[in-house]
């Protein structure tokens, strides 16, 4: 009986340490401003050469068809 209690106590203590570490990491992140601009990271990879919403990677042979279709849709919208 004592052997199982020791294992359960060890698991509980490791769980508490893990939880305390997670809370500590969250507090550190809030204090250092890691959550100030959460949505900004989603668009930081886009620029003029690769605009948001325009597919840049294609299967071989599909790029010309896709770009022509995109150009046609752009003409219709203007």
- Per residue in 6-38, pLDDT (tens digit) is 899 999 999 999 999 999 999 999 999 988 888
Element (DSSP H or E) covering residue 16: helix 2-31
Residue 60: pLDDT band with limits 50, 70, 90: confident
Question: Looking at the predicted structure, is the pLDDT value of residue 70 above 80?
Answer: no
DSSP percent split of the chain into helix, strand, coil, nearest 5: 65, 0, 35
Instruction: State the chain's maximal CA–CA distance in angstroms.
Output: 78
Task: Write down the pTM of the prediction.
Answer: 0.50
């Amino acid at each position: 009986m004592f052997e199982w209690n020791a294992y359960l106590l060890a698991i509980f203590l490791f769980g508490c340490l893990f939880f305390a570490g997670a809370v500590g990491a969250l507090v550190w992140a809030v204090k250092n401003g890691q959550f100030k601009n959460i949505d900004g990271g989603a668009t930081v990879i886009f620029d003029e050469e690769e605009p948001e919403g325009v597919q840049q990677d294609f299967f071989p042979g599909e790029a010309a068809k896709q770009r022509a279709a995109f150009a046609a849709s752009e003409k219709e919208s203007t």
